[in-house]
């Protein structure tokens, strides 16, 4: 199934499905074949089972071998795209409680004689999802969906608690990383007068370690070296400044900005940057949006490299925060003769701006563009700049891409 999970959903092609059929990739906890859409009740059971378990894919238009649950042939679909979209929407919103939000796309072969309907069901935070009038919960067990009566409180409790454990682990990993600040590096002593940016990216539902602790240093060392070659995080030390149970930390070796990168075996990357607020002729402490865009973008990039090296292909959560910005202004002077004029009231109320989003591993390029620009729009609004904010955000993002 590597042909699907290693690609962005938007880039999955007919040939990927054809390869799976030819290689006889069997159904599993995260994959199901259906010859046709058929009964919406059955589809609702399957969608909810995937959402309640590990998420996964449903491929409509593929006939399977009954005894082996392996794909036999792509037969295509005769139902129109509009009708299929309507059926899927009705299935996910009307037949499942709470509703499940999925991705879907229609894929055709080269001569457009065969059409497949591909659906990706994310692993859900809001389990359990029930069907049959909110009376029955399904889960995926290997290649089968299994019902659990909603009256069976013990098993429902197990399902709910399992997801809560993943979320608690995620929250613990984030909190632990944010609380790690000093490790004996004399240069890296966080300055309370500096602004602070931090970003965490990790699996949405971390369940297990993705790499042995002993193998982590060599893997991360390779990633850091590649970052240097791409002129990112060039101020980091050559070797980790500290190790902790399940992870390690690299730190910057100059005063400004002070940078710390934290990697662990569960696939989390945490970036922390302590930075000076530059002053212009009016002596106001100012935030440079282009620098902030650089922190946001480079954090996503290094995390994407880390997770790709780990072979992770699931859903991710990214949270970014900038703090200690109260009573600062937005910079006008960006060097290279770039000086922007705009009215700003300054940051008079908020001391912190934060944003959390989710995306699919392997989709970091498209995601980073939208994520960075949306974060910058929030920053501009906080500083009282409300006109053409998306154009301004796009400009600052462009400065980073051009290396300005």
Residue 276: what pLDDT?
87
DSSP assignment string, 48-69: HHHHHTT-EEEEETEEE-TTT-
Whole-angstrom Cα distance, residue 286 to residue 220? 34
377 token code pair: 């729009």
- The alpha carbons of the chain give a radius of gyration, in whole angstroms, of 24
Residue whose pair of structure tokens reads 């929030």 in the numeric block: 378
pLDDT above 70 coverage of the chain, percent: 92
Range with lowest mean pLDDT among 78-92, 153-167, 218-232 = 153-167
Range 267-287 average pLDDT? 86
Does residue 81 or residue 349 have the better pLDDT? 81
Segment holding 70, helix H or strand E: none
CA pair distance 364, 187, nearest whole angstrom? 32
pLDDT value for 156? 73
Over residues 195-201, the mean pLDDT reads: 94
**Which pLDDT belongs to residue 1?**
46
3-state secondary structure of 177: helix
| Spatial distance between the Cα atoms of 404 and 402, rounded to a whole number of angstroms | 6
Smallest CA-to-CA distance from 75 within 109, 120, 25 is with 109
Given a cut of 50, whether residue 404 has pLDDT beyond it is: no
CA 97 from chain centre, in angstroms, equals 25
pLDDT greater than 80 at residue 152: no
Candidate from 14-18, 19-23, 147-151 with smallest mean pLDDT:
147-151
Judge whether residue 187 has pLDDT over 50: no
CA–CA separation, 235 and 298 (whole Å): 13
The position carrying tokens 């089968």 is 144
Report which of residues 402 and 270 the model is more confident about.
270
**pLDDT surpasses 60 at 317:** yes
pLDDT at 235 over 60: yes
Instruction: Fill in the DSSP letter of residue 266.
Output: T
Beta strands in 338-383, from DSSP E residues, in sequence order: 352-360
Query: What is the chain's mean pLDDT, rounded?
Result: 87
Burial of 111 (0-12, 13-18, 19+ CB in 10 A): exposed
pLDDT band at 278; cut points 50, 70, 90: confident
How many Å separate Cα 200 from the centre of its chain? 10
Q: Rounded CA gap, 97 and 257, in Å?
A: 48
- 327 or 10, higher pLDDT: 327
pLDDT tens digits, one per residue of 369-384: 999 999 999 999 999 9
For the record, the structure tokens of 105 come out as 């796309």
pLDDT above 60: residue 185: no
CA distance 379 to 385: 9
pLDDT digit string (tens) for 87-126? 999 999 999 999 999 999 999 999 999 999 999 998 888 8
Cα 387 to Cα 157, 302, 393: the distances in Å are 50, 33, 11
**pLDDT band at 133; cut points 50, 70, 90:** confident
**Per residue in 236-268, pLDDT tens?**
888 888 888 899 998 886 666 888 899 999 999
Q: Are 47 and 102 in contact (CB under 8 A)?
A: yes
- Residue 212: C-alpha distances to residues 176, 308, 309, 335 (Å): 19, 16, 13, 45
- CA–CA dist 354, 320 (Å, integer): 6
At 150 the pLDDT is 56
Between 134-138, 308-312, 351-355, 382-386, the lowest mean confidence (pLDDT) is in: 134-138
Pairwise pLDDT comparison (258 vs 201), residue with the higher score:
201
Average pLDDT over residues 344-363: 87
Please state the rounded mean pLDDT for residues 354-377: 90
Q: What is the C-alpha to C-alpha distance for residues 221 and 262, in angstroms, rounded to an integer?
A: 12
Separation between Cα atoms, residue 393 and residue 340, nearest integer Å: 13
Q: What is the pLDDT averaged over residues 387-392? A: 93
Question: Cα(203)–Cα(312) distance, rounded to whole angstroms?
Answer: 8
**What whole-number distance in Å separates Cα of residue 261 and Cα of residue 244?**
13
- How confident is residue 6, by pLDDT bands cut at 50, 70 and 90? low
Residues 6+ apart with CB under 8 A from 393: 289, 372, 373, 374, 376, 377, 380
Is the distance from CB of 273 to CB of 295 less than 8 angstroms? Answer: yes
């Amino acid at each position: 199934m590597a042909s699907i999970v290693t690609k962005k959903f938007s880039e999955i092609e007919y040939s990927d499905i054809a390869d799976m059929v030819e290689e006889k990739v069997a159904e599993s906890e995260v994959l199901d074949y259906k010859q046709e859409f058929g009964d919406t009740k059955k589809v609702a059971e399957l969608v909810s089972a995937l959402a309640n378990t590990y998420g996964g894919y449903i491929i409509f238009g593929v006939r399977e071998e009954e005894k082996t649950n392996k794909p036999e042939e792509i037969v295509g679909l005769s139902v129109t795209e509009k009708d299929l979209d309507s059926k899927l929407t009705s299935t996910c919103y009307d037949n499942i409680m709470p509703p499940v939000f999925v991705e879907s796309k229609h894929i055709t072969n080269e001569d457009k004689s065969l059409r497949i309907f591909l659906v990706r069901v994310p692993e859900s935070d809001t389990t359990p999802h029930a069907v049959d009038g909110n009376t029955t919960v399904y889960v995926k067990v290997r290649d089968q969906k299994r019902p659990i009566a909603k009256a069976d409180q013990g098993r429902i409790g197990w399902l709910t608690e399992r997801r809560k454990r993943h979320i608690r682990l995620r929250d613990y990993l984030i909190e632990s990383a944010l609380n790690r600040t000093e490790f004996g590096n004399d240069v890296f002593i966080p300055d309370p007068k500096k602004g602070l940016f931090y970003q965490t990216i990790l699996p949405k539902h971390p369940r297990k370690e993705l790499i042995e602790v002993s193998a982590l240093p060599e893997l991360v060392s390779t990633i850091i070296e590649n970052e240097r070659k791409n002129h990112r995080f060039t101020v980091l030390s050559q070797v980790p400044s500290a190790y902790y149970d399940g992870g390690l930390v690299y730190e910057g070796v100059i005063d400004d900005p002070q940078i710390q990168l934290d990697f662990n075996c569960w696939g989390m990357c945490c970036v922390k940057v302590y930075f000076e607020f530059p002053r212009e002729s009016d002596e106001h402490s100012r935030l440079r949006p282009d620098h902030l865009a650089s922190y946001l973008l480079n954090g996503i990039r290094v995390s994407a490299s880390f997770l790709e090296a780990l072979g992770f292909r699931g859903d991710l959560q990214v949270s970014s925060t900038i703090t200690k910005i109260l009573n600062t202004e937005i910079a006008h002077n960006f060097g290279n003769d770039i000086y922007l004029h705009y009215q700003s009231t300054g940051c008079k109320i908020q001391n912190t701006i934060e944003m959390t989003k989710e995306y699919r591993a392997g989709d970091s390029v498209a995601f980073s563009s939208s994520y960075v620009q949306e974060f910058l729009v929030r920053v501009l609004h906080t500083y009282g700049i409300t006109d053409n904010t998306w154009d301004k955000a796009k400009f600052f993002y462009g400065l980073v891409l051009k290396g300005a």
